[in-house]
Amino acid sequence: MSKRLRQNIWLYVAPQIKGKFDNHGTPIVYDEKTKKHLDPSNIDDKVFIYERQVNGWFLNHAARLKKSKYAGFIILMLGISYIEGVEQYREGQESRNNSSRFFKKGLKRIFNLNNIPEYKLSDFYHHARCGLFHTGMTRDKITINGSLPETIDFTNDDEIKINQIKFINTIKAEFKSYITELKNQTNTTLRTNFNQMFTIL
């Protein structure tokens, strides 16, 4: 598997989508599921590949894990991994040296947290996102429980409660909505931003 094509080596760039550069440097991308060739420079084919990547490599697995009693942290990690990435595609620029800003902007938008103070969003970034991706575990303030009534509860300054099931369901709904937006050719800015960020070449 790879996110980029290589010379004369078939690699999967998404589940059931494989590709390579031929001897002349021409990209060949083939969808084994639909039996069709794709053009990796065409925006609509790029959206198609991106959708297959995110669902097939990440979100579909998170959905299956919801049945497991002890999969809460990996479900949360899969959901959190989506937030900063999709914000880069939406804005059309990398989050390099601005990870916190991109993540918090995406978190606020996806979970409708416009009334949550900035310092609490920063706490989520530090204790949930950075904890999971820097040390492999959430930090002190995070509690997860699939039975909690709220998706994210910031009521107590000393604790952030997360229902990981509702969290990943919200991420899945957001991704479905984003793909629908990208497929709408009237959304020129959104499509342009995505097009300049996403590539398998």
Same domain, 62 and 32: no
Same domain, 22 and 50: no
pLDDT at 3 over 90: no
Average pLDDT, the chain: 96
Task: Give the pair of three-digit tokens for residue 99.
Answer: 């990870």
Summarised one tens digit per residue, pLDDT across range 85-107 is 999 999 999 999 999 999 999 99
Whole domain around residue 180: which residue ranges?
Answer: 41-197
Same domain, 25 and 62: no
Same domain, 188 and 95: yes
The DSSP code for 42 is S
Q: How far apart are CA 67 and CA 200, in angstroms?
A: 33
Same domain, 13 and 65: no
pLDDT at 64 over 70: yes
Summarised one tens digit per residue, pLDDT across range 40-55 is 999 999 999 999 999 9
Task: Provide the pLDDT for residue 158.
Answer: 95
Nearest to 39 by CA among 25, 49, 52: 49
What is the reported pTM? 0.94
pLDDT at 155 over 80: yes
Query: Read out DSSP for 123-163?
Result: HHIIIIIIIIIIISS--TTEEE-TT-SSSEE--STT-EEE-
Same domain, 12 and 84: no
